[in-house]
A and B are shown apart, each in its own frame.
Chain A
Amino acid sequence: ETGVTQTPRHLVMGMTNKKSLKCEQHLGHNAMYWYKQSAKKPLELMFVYSLEERVENNSVPSRFSPECPNSSHLFLHLHTLQPEDSALYLCASSQATNLNTEAFFGQGTRLTVV
């Protein structure tokens, strides 16, 4: 266990559904990240939060909406997704975005859009 917990582990949703992915860390970290991992592609950074403020949005479609209510929790709200959005969504945290420290990853949510 890395200290970063993601739920659910698996999610199947229709294109008209609304769902949310949850990430939780109790490591005392101030930075949290969402990554998308598709087959045969590098890990793609989606969003970065530092001290609960979004500091990076890598041209992610608006059907993905992040929320960081506090430094321990990060959500990814999903709405009217496309089949090509099916992927492993990984949450990570680190001490801060201005430090040379490793990121700790959760186990990921395997999302299938049907």
Chain B
Amino acid sequence: GESVGLHLPTLSVQEGDNSIINCAYSNSASDYFIWYKQESGKGPQFIIDIRSNMDKRQGQRVTVLLNKTVKHLSLQIAATQPGDSAVYFCAERVAGGSYIPTFGRGTSLIVHP
């Protein structure tokens, strides 16, 4: 957990804007990254993942970018909606004997209508 951190604890955006949530990691042996969304009162839910042999992956309204040179991960949400309001966590798995997800601090995304 200590090797994964988020730059901003809170991000406020207007509905319809694009959102970018950032994540830094320090372990160069990490080879798999996942973004989770946690809504109030619920457990984290998978959004999108990316392996270290890729630098970009797109899903529905979400894009994850991986920059291994600077050990940086970002989640882009297009046309942000009020339902996107949640805490977003990045998790890394370190290559080796066990792949056990560790998490950063989380960014709270607030979408204003």
- Supposing A42-B105, A100-B93 touch, asked if A48 and B98 sit within 8 A by C-beta, the answer is yes
Q: Which of B41, B44, B105, B106 contacts A105 (CB 8 A)?
A: B44
**Across the interface, do B98 and A99 meet the contact criterion of CB distance under 8 Å?**
no
**Residue picked from B43, B100, B103, B104, most chain A C-beta under 10 Å:** B43
From B31, B32, B34, B43, give the contact of A106 (CB < 8 A).
B43
In the complex, what residues of B have CB within 8 A of residue A98's CB? 97-99
Q: Once the chains are docked, how many angstroms separate the CA of A12 from the CA of B89?
A: 27
Within 8 A of B (CB), among A33-58: 33, 35, 40-45, 48, 50, 55-56
**10 shortest A-B CB distances, which residue pairs?**
A105-B43, A43-B103, A100-B32, A102-B46, A97-B98, A42-B1, A105-B44, A42-B105, A42-B103, A107-B43
